[in-house]
Amino acid sequence: MQHGWTPVQAIPPLGDGEVQVWRLRVDLEGQGREAAAAIADAATAAEHERAARFRQEADRQRFLHGRLLLRTFLGHHLGIAPHDVTFVNGEFGKPEVQRRDDASVLRFNIAHSGEWLLFGLARDRELGVDVEQHREMSDAIQIARRFFAPPEVEALEALDPAQHHDTFFRIWTRKEAIVKATGAGISAGLERFAVSADAPEIVTLRGLDGDPGWQRWTIRGLAMPPTYTAAVAFEGGDTALTRLEWTPW
């Protein structure tokens, strides 16, 4: 049984052994002036310039909402203004918060698809999140054969065609969460590991390349509306996973 999300309007403390996953629905019509004012205060000139490059207004707003989410949460935990949060590129180019003198290091990851933003936050452990809005796919099996590991392709092919769509997105988001957590990206080889394809929240992960490092990762499915699928991956197996929905407006 998948766990639900707790709506909150304030940012709670982040425990040392905790992984927080937040979701925010970007309601472009309903959030109004408060969201626009918060974005204007938090986003830098460079981020506004980057947003302006998107052709669609909805894409511009989703990008800016994502920056607001990042800066608001990270600034809160660092004790600085959102606008003052500085990002640097870590290993493999994965964005990180510029280190301060704190004993712990904040790790984060963000994903967006359709009207949903997903944000993962933890201390001293890598993590990755992914969310995908479902779309019609007549070539799910062909894409799986190209990108998935053999056990995942076999699991997909064994199903009734009516189940291909949802199962494909479960596998995809789980694998994407892992490669975002490692920072290595898809080019590192999606065939090197396999995830379970069934619906439960608890996801099994098998390394297929002989690397024992896969054992340090945990994957969880995340409950979403019927036309979306999401997952989180993080280091360690003894972590308290908290699911929160940010409703500040």
3 state SS of 150: helix
pLDDT score recorded for residue 3? 65
DSSP 102: -
Mean pLDDT score of the chain: 89
Does residue 74 come out as left (phi exceeding 0), alpha (psi in the -120 to 50 range) or beta? alpha
User: Is pLDDT at 157 greater than 90 in this prediction?
Assistant: yes
pLDDT score recorded for residue 100? 66
Pairing of strands 6-8, 240-246: parallel
What dihedral angle (degrees, nearest 10) is formed by the CA atoms of 211, 217, 218, 224? -100
Mean pLDDT of 1-24: 88
Other beta carbons within 10 Å of 112: 21
Among 241, 249, 247, which residue's Cα sits nearest to residue 121? 241
- List, for residues 98-115, the tens digit of each pLDDT value: 766 655 789 999 999 999
Residue 24: pLDDT band with limits 50, 70, 90: very high
The dotted CATH code for 6-246 is 3.90.470.20
pLDDT score recorded for residue 1? 38
Residue 219: pLDDT band with limits 50, 70, 90: very high
pLDDT score recorded for residue 149? 96
> pTM for the full model?
0.92
Query: Is residue 45 within 8 Å of residue 95, measured between CB atoms?
Result: no
**Which pair of structure tokens corresponds to residue 10?**
């304030």
The amino acid present at 62, given as its one-letter code, is R
Residue 237: pLDDT band with limits 50, 70, 90: confident
Query: Is residue 156 within 8 Å of residue 140, measured between CB atoms?
Result: yes
Averaging pLDDT over each range in 44-58, 173-187, 222-236, which range is the top one?
Answer: 222-236
Q: Where are the domains of the chain?
A: 6-246
Q: At what angle do helices 57-78 and 45-52 cross, to 10 degrees?
A: 160
